[in-house]
Structure formats: structure tokens, C-alpha cells
Structure 1
Amino acid sequence: MLPQDEELPVNLQRLQAVSRGKVAMQKRLLEIFFQAAEGDVAALKEAVANQDFPTMEHKAHQLKGSSANVGIPKVSIIAAELQKQAHQKTLIDANQLVDQIENYLQKARQFAEIYFSD
């Protein structure tokens, strides 16, 4: 059983809008997104460990936009906070924020696998 709309890790209305309702395109968009996000998270972890603020800001910005585009708003919100911290050159909650992004991406991926299972 799927959770109620407000609890879904993927905003299906946004995903349907960006894909013009084409299910195959929705699946492909999410596949591409999750693959790219995995690389972004790995780069963020490394950037945080090395206090590489420009890379942190860039990768967080990328993740903020791409996750909003495919309808994963929680990741976008967390990435925006991480981008802000990187811009301010602070690491107050950076590791926790990256962990939250990673955990929420996992939830979204699991949801997508169930939602698009034939």
C-alpha cells in the first residue's frame, strides 16, 4: 500500500508534468537522476571531508535543482541548506545534511521501484 500523497518521497504530479504523463519517461528520468545523485552525494562527502566549499556549493546546487525538477522536494530543500552552508563556508551540520540526502534518496528510490513495478 502506498502512503498518502503528502507523505510520498516523490511528487508524482511534478514527475508527470515534466514527463508529459509518459510512464516510460518518468522511469528513465528517475533512473538518470538517481545515478547522477549517487555521484553528487559521493562528491559531497569528499568535499565536506576536505572542506572544499566551492565543490560543496556546486554539487549541492546541482542536487537542489535536479531533485526539484524530478519531483523529490525534500532532497531539494536539504541540498539548499547545504548549499547555503557551503556559501557561508561553515560545516555546522554538513555531514548530517549529506546523510539526510542519502537516506531520503534511498526512500525515493525504493518508492520508485515499487511504484513502477509491473
Structure 2
Amino acid sequence: MLPQDEEPPVNLQRLQEITRGKVAMQKRLLEIFFQATEENIVALKEAIANQDFPTIKHKAHQIKGSSANVGIQKMSIAAAELEKQANQQNISQANQLLNEIENYFQKAREFAEINFSN
């Protein structure tokens, strides 16, 4: 359970809007999101280690958009900042931002497992 002052990691209202309230569609959309994002996080780790700015920018951009689409706003904000830094070829905070993205990812996955389990 979340502390009362903490908002859920997934904006359920956003999910309701984009799926017209269809729970099965919400569940499937989140499954696709988690699979793709997990792959993007792995690629981001490698790109950061190699200082591959175009790949960092691309993967951060993908995470930014997909997480905003499914209502995981904090992850989207962290990814946007990482994308911005990659544009400036500055990855001084890349590992910290990646940790934030992974943290939000894990919280969202746990939230989805609790709220969308059969």
C-alpha cells in the first residue's frame, strides 16, 4: 500500500482515457509497455557506459513518450531530463537519472501487478 500522501505511480485516469475503460486493454497495454521499456533500459545502460549519445537520446525519448502515454509521469520526466542531457552531450547525471527511471519502472510494475492481477 502507498502512504496516503504519495500518488500512485500509474495515473489510472490516463489509462482509462486511452483505453475507454477497457481493463483487458489496460492490462495488455501495460504488458507491452513493461516489455519494451525493460529492453530500452538495458540499451540505455549500455549506451551510457559507452557514452553513445545518439542511442541515449533515442532510448530516453522512447521511454519519455511511452511512459507519458500510459500515465507514468515521473518516469517520463526523468527520461526527458536524460534526453536533454544527451542532446547536450552531458551525461554527468545519467546514472542517477537511469536509477530514477528504473525505480519508477519497478514501482509501476508492482502497482500494475497488484491492480491488474486476475
The alpha carbon displacement at 1:70 in A equals 0.6
The alpha carbon displacement at 1:107 in A equals 0.4
When residues 9 and 113 of structure 1 are mapped into structure 2, their CA distance, relative to the original with a 3 A threshold, is same
- Determine the structure 1 residue equivalent to 2:88: 88
- Determine the structure 2 residue equivalent to 1:105: 105
CA distance in 1, matches of 2:29, 2:4: 23
CA distance in 1, matches of 2:2, 2:102: 21
The alpha carbon displacement at 1:117 in A equals 2.2
- Determine the structure 2 residue equivalent to 1:63: 63
Q: Per-residue CA shift, 1:39-79, capped at 9, x if unaligned?
A: 00001100000000000000000000000001100110000
Scaled by the length of structure 1, the TM-score of the pair is: 0.95
The alpha carbon displacement at 1:116 in A equals 1.1
The alpha carbon displacement at 1:99 in A equals 1.0
C-alpha RMSD over aligned residues: 1.4
Structure 1 residues without counterparts, runs of 5 or longer: none
CA distance in 2, matches of 1:69, 1:49: 28
| Alignment of structure 1 residues 1-118 onto 2, 5 Å | 1=1, 7-118=7-118
CA distance in 1, matches of 2:114, 2:87: 37
Structure 2 residues without counterparts, runs of 5 or longer: none
| Divergent runs of 4+, >3 A | 1-6
Percent sequence identity over aligned pairs:
75
Match of 2:83, as an amino acid? Q
Scaled by the length of structure 2, the TM-score of the pair is: 0.95
Q: Per-residue CA shift, 1:74-117, capped at 9, x if unaligned?
A: 11000000000000000111011111101110000000110112
Query: How many residue pairs are counted as aligned between the two chains?
Result: 118
